[in-house]
Amino acid sequence: MAGISRKYRLLRRSHAMWVSRRVWQPRLVFWAGAVSIGLISVLFALLADRAQALFHIMTGNEGGWRFYLPLVVTPLGFVLCAWLAHSFFPGSQGSGIPQAIAARHLRDEEDRSRILSLRLVAGKIALTVVGLACGASIGREGPTVQVGASLMLQA
C-alpha cells in the first residue's frame, strides 16, 4: 500500500508542477523572450544583408567614377553614425558582447539600463545597418548579442 501512496504523491506533485502558474509563468517569459530575440535577429540579419547589397550596388563593378564613391560615402557614413550614436544613442558604441558581459555584473538597475535598453536595441540595429550601407566592416554577431541581452533584460 505504501508503494501506491508514494506513486500517487509523485503523480500529484508532477501534475501540480505542470499546471501551476508559478512554474509556467517564468518559463513563458523566457520562451517569449527567446522567440522575440530570434525574430528580431532574423530581421536584423535581413536588413544587414540588404544594406551590404546596397553598398555593392552603389559602388558597382564596372569601374568609372563609381569606383571612387566609397572614398566619399564611407567617411561621411562614419561621421553620421558617430553623430547619431553620440546624440541619440549613447551607450550604443562598441561591439556588443563586452557590454552584455559588463551589464551582467552590474547590480544597479540604472547603470545596467545605460548599456542595455530598448532604445539601444533600435540604435544598435539602425547604426549597424547604416554602417554596413556605407561600407563599414561590421559583424552582426556582437550587436545581436547586445540586442538579445537588452530584450531579455526588459522581459
pTM of the model: 0.79
CA 69, CA 55: separation in Å to the nearest integer?
A: 10
- Residue 83 inside a domain? The answer is yes
**In which band, very low, low, confident or very high, does the pLDDT at 2 lie, cut at 50, 70 and 90?**
low
CB 91 within 8 A of CB 115: yes
- Residue 45 inside a domain? The answer is yes
Total tally of structural domains belonging to the chain:
1
- Residue 112 inside a domain? The answer is yes
**In which band, very low, low, confident or very high, does the pLDDT at 18 lie, cut at 50, 70 and 90?**
low
Domain limits at 70? 35-154
CB 139 within 8 A of CB 128: no
- Residue 7 inside a domain? The answer is no
**In which band, very low, low, confident or very high, does the pLDDT at 8 lie, cut at 50, 70 and 90?**
low
Neighbours of 118 (CB within 10 A): 13
